[in-house]
Structure 1
Amino acid sequence: MAEAWTMATAPTAADRPELRRIGLDALGTALRRGWADFLAAPTQLVFLCVLYPLIGLLAGTLAAGGDAMHLLYPMAAGFALVGPVAALGLYEISRRREGGQAAGWRNAFDVLRSPALGSIAALALLLAAIFLAWLWVADMIFTRTVGTLPGDFSGAMQVVFGTAEGHRLLLWGNLAGLGFAMAVLVLTVVSFPMLLDRDGGVARAVGTSLRAFAANPVPMLAWGLVVAVLLLLGSLPLFIGLAVVLPVLGHATWHLYRMVVAR
């Protein structure tokens, strides 16, 4: 797997894909195309099979009481940090439909046969490390602000929203979460789709993602906001809406990649 990291550690100018500048209207186009892909190859049942264990994990954390309750929100919010990995199969479906090939939910697993699997796994490990770092930082902020929570949910909410310590927790916790989310957005906005499309190693894919963000800062920031808002709406209630939101966003991300990175 180390080769996946070093494959393109020093890309030449010829190895740097040409990038396009896009406007905010491209985000709507990407979402419309993502919705069309979702309607053509519905994957909500697959995502429900993934989401139900997640819901069970969060419910178990809540039921565990005060010692674990403070990780409930960071775990739920942190799902967005590993979302690009969950969307890999969706990129493959969109890629196949774009090429005029038959595409259904089973084709999502074709990613496992991708020549870029090593590079994909290496980048996925990076996101897993970022997710764990986020949980560690969230736990540290909690310890240094609130410290402990009552065992019941209503009491915990009273502490978080009704005390000065809780307000500091919300401020610093959300600022830290924003920083982690921005890092993942910059690193992966086009890198995972690019690895599926034209594997050249993690360094090349991440470098292209950084360049894409620098070339289109306003649309990319707006895209991050769109993703955050839709994930929030999809999480209410009980995360069930994510079974539709996640596939649409995944397909839309593929089309955003196509609009930004020239073939």
Structure 2
Amino acid sequence: MLDKTPTPTPPTHTQGLLPPILPLLKDQPMQWLALGFKDLARAPLLSLMHGLILAILGGFITLLAHDQFWLLVGSLSGFMVVAPVLATSLYAMSRAMEKGETVDFELLVNTWTQWQLRLRHQPDSYWSLIRFGLLLGLAATGWVITSSALITLLAPAPIHTPMDFIRHVVLAKEGHLFELWVGLGGMMAVPVFASSVISMPLLLDRRVTVLQAVLTSWKAVFTHPFQMTLWAFLILGFSLLGIFSLFLGLILVVPMLGHGSWHAYRHLVDVSNLPERITGQGEL
């Protein structure tokens, strides 16, 4: 007689706990930079192409909005906040290098067009890249609205251009508006960083939802606050260096940080129990 007892369905990854966070060395973020530069050197043309595109975009934004302070701030803020999404194909390159796969232009195209196209395989993460990018865009918009309201209400004179901001806010002899503005920016940057620092590499590499990726990112930050703070300052410092070098520095900075972020994810998260997302020409 056949046993008609239904076989229990094993729990899926969406039902399980968040993946474990791995131990780190104190100077691990410096290693991520070195590994990022190593990946850049292994595929220099494709890597530097990412930086060149973002440098051209940043220069174009500045050219259009150089005399419109809040438009310039909004554009550059959005540029910085959504950078983890824009670097997705850099993560894919490092992933392919790690697996010994071919790194070419086709890989970049497939990363943006094929890895999330088949809804039936995982409906809970369909268009996860787009959804996460929209969340980051909303965060950037919130920062611009909040900071513009703060400056408009408290500045001693109207702020219309970058020079107005420098004259009446940065170099103001009375009050602490600039310090307050920087502090507010820091308070809003912390949750954005904590939510995004490893979310996109995890979404690219494993079949997880946006919520799982974000919560895992927060878990990593809480587990290693010193290393993640150091990583945040390295990202900020190199990004500002790239921007203030008339965006030319971004040609090198963007791929180095993008590849480095992949290695940060790999060193931080134990994903051995999460189903892999097969990219490129494979089944999703």
- TM over 0.5, yes or no? yes
**Shift in Å, 1:179:** 1.8
Q: Distance in 1 between matches of 2:196 and 2:146?
A: 21
Whether 1:49 aligns to 2:53 is: yes
Secondary structure of the 2:127 match is helix
For structure 1, the 5+ residue unaligned runs are 1-7
C-alpha distance after superposition, 1:65-101 (max 9, x if no partner): xxx3244345434432111111111000000000001
5 Å-filtered alignment, 1:1-263, equals 11-13=15-17, 16-42=18-44, 43-63=47-67, 68-73=68-73, 75-112=75-112, 113-115=114-116, 118-146=127-155, 147-149=157-159, 154=163, 156-164=165-173, 168-262=176-270, 263=272
C-alpha distance after superposition, 1:14-33 (max 9, x if no partner): xx212112122211221111
Say if 2:24 and 2:267, in contact at 8 Å, map to a contact too: yes
Q: Distance in 2 between matches of 1:200 and 1:155?
A: 46
C-alpha distance after superposition, 1:177-219 (max 9, x if no partner): 2122211111011111111110211111111111111111111
Q: Distance in 1 between matches of 2:74 and 2:177?
A: 12
Amino acid at match of 1:244: L
**Shift in Å, 1:11:** 3.7
Say if 1:91 and 1:251, in contact at 8 Å, map to a contact too: yes
Which residue matches 1:3?
A: none
Say if 1:235 and 1:241, in contact at 8 Å, map to a contact too: yes
Say if 2:203 and 2:213, in contact at 8 Å, map to a contact too: yes
Describe the shift of the 1:9–1:197 C-alpha distance in structure 2 as closer, same or farther (beyond 3 A): closer
Identity rate, percent: 27
Superposition RMSD in Å: 2.3
Describe the shift of the 1:97–1:218 C-alpha distance in structure 2 as closer, same or farther (beyond 3 A): same
Q: TM-score, normalised by structure 1?
A: 0.85
Deviates more, 1:181-190 or 1:38-47: 38-47
Describe the shift of the 1:179–1:111 C-alpha distance in structure 2 as closer, same or farther (beyond 3 A): farther
Deviates more, 1:112-121 or 1:72-81: 72-81
**Structure 1 or 2: more helix by fraction:** 1
Describe the shift of the 1:173–1:12 C-alpha distance in structure 2 as closer, same or farther (beyond 3 A): same
Describe the shift of the 1:181–1:24 C-alpha distance in structure 2 as closer, same or farther (beyond 3 A): same
Describe the shift of the 1:35–1:148 C-alpha distance in structure 2 as closer, same or farther (beyond 3 A): same
Q: TM-score, normalised by structure 2?
A: 0.79
Q: Distance in 1 between matches of 2:135 and 2:13?
A: 16
Which residue matches 1:4?
A: none
Say if 2:61 and 2:72, in contact at 8 Å, map to a contact too: no
Q: Report the number of matched residues.
A: 248
**Shift in Å, 1:156:** 5.0
Q: Runs (4+) of structure 1 moved beyond 6 Å?
A: none
Q: Distance in 2 between matches of 1:180 and 1:40?
A: 36
